[in-house]
Structures are given as structure tokens and as C-alpha cells.
Copies of this chain bind each other. A is one copy, B any other.
Amino acid sequence: MAWTATNSEGYEAPAALAADVVVLTVRDARLEALTIDREDGTRALPGGFVQRHESPEQTARRVLGDKTGLDAVYLEQLATFAAPTRDPRGWIPSIAYISLVPPATQPSDPNARWTSARGRHPLAFDHRAILRHALDRLEGKLWWSNVAVGILPRTFTLSQAREVYEAIANTTYDPPTFARDLRTTGLITPTGSKRTAGPGRPASLYRFHAKKPQWGAGHRKRITG
């Protein structure tokens, strides 16, 4: 049976309010999304219902904690999907979020798994459209924000950063040019130490100035504040 709800004024109300999260990371140079295996065999994005007296962002963080064990991660509202028939259970709008987590994150929920973000896996509900929307948003913000903070470790080499940027942008960058351009964003600073891993010259380590979401120097065609 479909869920329904009626408010105290006598009008039909949404049966519930959902918060779904597109959890992304970069593993082995591939952009991956966290998906949940459902009982009916289909897959879906992690999500949950917004409780009364809870903001949707809190719901998203709660879901993230349940599925990954993480608590302090990059989280940004994406868009709300509210077509009246999007959920077969009833009138359930969903507020979608994007979250970026470190690649070492292991799902704490046994039904959660990493899936290629650009693969062609079918997803339940309208989650495929939500995922697509998330990728578009992320690509657009990549160079104009410090979103990569969420995925990279606290200190990182320019090669590690490049791998993350390439996976998100789905392209390749010339290493010297990438290093120059990332440095001129003003978002990162060298830590002074180096990292040796196998053969090759040791790489300098960097960190982001701000751990919090922040816009970069951005466009030339600037808006006066």
C-alpha cells in the first residue's frame, strides 16, 4: 500500500521527506560512488528520512555516519528531486546531497559498496539522475573551489592531487602545468617535507589552507563583492 499523509488543515501532505547522499571518492584513479544493495536486488544511493526537528543536512550526516562511520566530511546540498511519482511508496520528495570522502573509507554497512561513478549500473528510484547531476556539479566546481580537500589526505603530493582532479574531471592534465595551476589557485601551501615512495625523486608535500569549503581565486571575469 502507498503511504499517505494528511495535515491538520485537511490537505494531503508529503508522506515523508528523504535525504539522499551521493558519496564520492577517488580510488585507483577512478571516481566511485557509494551504493547500497537493497533487499529486492536493486541498488540505491544511501539515504534516510528526515525526522521532525532535524535539518536535512543532519539527516545526511546521520546516514553518512551509519554507512561509512565518518562524521566530519565535505557535504553540500545538490538539489531536490520531488516529482510526484518518483517514489513508488508515495509522495516522498528527496533532498540530495554531495559528500566527498577519503579513499580509505570502508563502508561500515555490509550492504554498502563502492561502484564506478560513471558506470552504467541501474539505480533505484531516480537515483541515476541524482548521480548524474552530482557529477555535473562536481566537474563544474572542481577548479573554482577546494572540493578536493574532502578526498585528499591532510598532506598530499601534487601527483596525488592530480590523480584526484583527473578522476573528477575525467581527463588528463600535463603534470607541470597542473602543478603550476594548482599552486596559483592560492589554495595550497607546501608543508616543507617530502614523501618518498618507490623509485623516483621524492615529492614535496602540500596541504590546503582551509579545511572548510571555500571558493578559489576563480574567474577573471570577476564580480565585485
Interface residues of A (CB under 8 A from B): 1, 3-9, 11-17, 49-56, 77, 79-80, 82-84, 90-91, 93, 95, 139-140, 142-143, 169-171, 181, 219, 221, 223-224
Copies of the polypeptide in the assembly: 2
Q: Tell me, in angstroms, the Cα distance from A133 to B93 when the chains sit together.
A: 21
Which residues from chain B contact A140 at a C-beta distance below 8 Å?
A: 223
List 28 interface pairs A-B (beta carbons < 8 Å), by A numbering: A3-B7, A3-B9, A4-B7, A4-B8, A5-B5, A5-B8, A5-B13, A11-B16, A13-B13, A13-B17, A14-B14, A14-B16, A50-B82, A54-B84, A55-B82, A55-B83, A55-B84, A56-B93, A77-B79, A79-B79, A79-B80, A80-B95, A93-B93, A142-B223, A143-B221, A171-B223, A181-B221, A219-B219
Q: Tell me the minimal C-beta distance from A145 to chain B in angstroms.
A: 11
When the two chains form the complex, which single residue of B7, B139, B143 contacts A15, counting CB atoms closer than 8 Å?
B7
Which residues from chain B contact A1 at a C-beta distance below 8 Å?
A: 8
Which residues from chain B contact A91 at a C-beta distance below 8 Å?
A: 52
Q: Quick one: which of A3, A55, A82 has the most chain B CB within 10 A?
A: A82
Q: Tell me the minimal C-beta distance from A93 to chain B in angstroms.
A: 6
Q: Tell me the minimal C-beta distance from A77 to chain B in angstroms.
A: 6
Known: A14-B17, A79-B80. 10 other contacts (CB 8 A): A12-B52, A55-B84, A56-B82, A80-B80, A80-B95, A93-B93, A93-B95, A171-B223, A171-B224, A181-B221
